[in-house]
Structure 1
Amino acid sequence: MARRKKVYEGKAKILYEGPEPGTLVQYFKDDATAFNAQKHDVIEGKGVLNNRLSEFFMTGLNDIGVPTHFIRRINMREQLIRQVEIIPLEVVVRNRAAGSMSKRLGIAEGHVLPRPVVEFYYKDDKLGDPLVTEEHIAAFGWASQQDMDDMVALALRVNDFLSGVFMGVGIRLVDFKIEIGRIWDNDFHRLIVADEISPDSCRLWDIKTGQKLDKDVFRQDLGNLADAYTELARRLGVLPKNAQPITRPTLIN
């Protein structure tokens, strides 16, 4: 078997050339990082869970007409995706104050925001992914005003979908981040949701207990990250309902 060509490796995923032009294979690693990779560990089974969870969310978005890069799952750790031109911005939607917003503005964690707040962060690990305004984005040519409007609209549609899905299983969506890419057709392009949607990229709190079921478990040393992700997958039906927190999850095909 020919060795696949690696296109890119990030903190949690590896991208390989796909079997057809315009496709990539996205491989989910077991690495867990926080604080711009200053904290790092390998959590056995994390990549398997995130692959299946991202498949679950991306498929749901595709089904309701929100375009994503997801094509199909290949195996336990890999999925086939469309190759896109990633816009160098992270789009964050906040429903409650937490994380950097609480620190930056002095707002208590958990404070309900009067409406979802959409923020843009410039993707640059060396700079710590700084918060930027639409003026910065336009001035440096990262995206046009139309692109920014479309990104906000996409992000809010994702927020509506995810909030409903999580509410149905007793989980509050505090905030999340997505990446968005361009797909070109000659001189025209459209924007689609890319990267991943998983508990690595969301803040998720149990509605009754406030228990955290996201990467804050790792950031704040609140317990076993694999257990938290397993519980999330179980509630969403990605794992059997009677599944116990396990290191090597047995997933439904």
Structure 2
Amino acid sequence: MNRRRRIYEGNAKILYEGPEPGTLIQHFKDDASGENKRRNEVVDGKGVLNNRISEYIFNNLNAMGIPTHFIRTLNMREQLIREVEIIPLEVVVRNVAAGSLAKRLGIEEGTPLPRSIIEFYYKNNELGDPMVSEEHVTAFGWASPQEIDDIMSLAIRVNDFLSGLFLGVGIRLIDFRLECGRLYENEMMRIIIADEISPDSCRLWDLTSSEKFSKDASRENGRVLAGYQEVARRLGILNTNERIVSSGPTLVQ
């Protein structure tokens, strides 16, 4: 049987042509990247966990009426998604000072912010995804003022949901990253959530001990997979004794 046509490959995922017009297959890889987003290690089973966690979150968002590109899971590593025109922005929602924000402003990590802050970063690996303002976004035509309003509205709604979801299982949502896309349906266009929401795109700390469960933990102690597994267990999507092992790439033919 013929393999599906590869559309795009990034640091953590591959997109393949979908079985129907307007769809894609999103494949989760085990590659883990550092702060400069260059591939630096393979964490066996990470893609399986990200697939399951993202599926769980996107199903909940869809049920709440928050539009996403997610349609359904196909297998351990792949999802069927709607094809969208990706807006070249990373939307970062911050609730607690950490990472680059703490460094830029000299704020101690773990300090709660006066309110949630939304930042925009231009998606360009060669430039290191620089932070940009709304003025940059509109001046260079990456998104219109109305689209910025729609993106920020979606980001706030997702933040409210995720904060409550993780708080309920003893996890503090420090910050997270979103990507959005334009979904064209007949003559209509709307902004929806795309990409993934997983420990790869969230900064998650234990509510009591501040142990790190997300990708930044790997920069300190190499326990990235254990952290991802703990998040999945607390969300109830991974049994206590279940082991995640890689079965290699699985493509839908």
Q: TM-score normalised by the shorter chain: which range applies?
A: over 0.9
Residues of 1 paired with 2:190 and 2:132: CA distance? 23
- The corresponding residue for 2:251 is none
TM-score, with normalisation over the residues of structure 1?
0.95
Could you list the per-position Cα deviations for residues 97-136 of structure 1 after superposition, in whole angstroms to 9, with x for gaps in the alignment? Answer: 1001011111111111111000000000000000000000
2:245 matched to 1:248?
yes
> Which amino acid is 1:243 matched to?
N
Check 1:9–1:237 CA distance in 2 against 1; reply closer, same or farther (3 A cut). Answer: same
Question: Residue 221 of structure 1: SS of its match in structure 2?
Answer: helix
Q: 1:169-188 maps to which residues of 2 (within 5 A)?
A: 169-188=169-188
Residue 73 of structure 1: how far off its partner (Å): 0.1
In structure 1, list runs of 5 or more residues that go unmatched.
none
Is the contact made by 2:44 and 2:246 (CA closer than 8 Å) also made in structure 1? no
Q: 1:1-253 maps to which residues of 2 (within 5 A)?
A: 1-38=1-38, 40-218=40-218, 220-240=219-239, 242-243=240-241, 246=243, 248=245
Which structure ranks higher in relative contact order (CA pairs < 8 Å, sequence separation ≥ 6)? 2
Is the contact made by 1:230 and 1:249 (CA closer than 8 Å) also made in structure 2? no
> Which amino acid is 2:245 matched to?
R
Residues of 2 paired with 1:188 and 1:4: CA distance? 29
Residues of 2 paired with 1:134 and 1:223: CA distance? 36
Could you list the per-position Cα deviations for residues 147-172 of structure 1 after superposition, in whole angstroms to 9, with x for gaps in the alignment? Answer: 00110000000000000100000000
Residues of 2 paired with 1:35 and 1:249: CA distance? 24
Question: Residue 143 of structure 1: SS of its match in structure 2?
Answer: coil
The sequence identity of aligned pairs, in percent, is 62
Question: Residue 3 of structure 2: SS of its match in structure 1?
Answer: coil
Is the contact made by 1:227 and 1:247 (CA closer than 8 Å) also made in structure 2? no
Check 1:249–1:237 CA distance in 2 against 1; reply closer, same or farther (3 A cut). Answer: farther
Is the contact made by 2:11 and 2:39 (CA closer than 8 Å) also made in structure 1? no
Residues of 2 paired with 1:38 and 1:238: CA distance? 30
Residues of 2 paired with 1:191 and 1:107: CA distance? 33
Question: Residue 200 of structure 2: SS of its match in structure 1?
Answer: coil
Question: Residue 220 of structure 2: SS of its match in structure 1?
Answer: coil
TM-score, with normalisation over the residues of structure 2?
0.95
Select between 180-189 and 117-126 the one with higher mean Cα deviation.
180-189
> Which amino acid is 1:43 matched to?
V
The number of equivalent residue pairs is 247
Residues of 1 paired with 2:78 and 2:111: CA distance? 37
Q: Say what the alpha-carbon RMSD is for the aligned residues.
A: 1.4
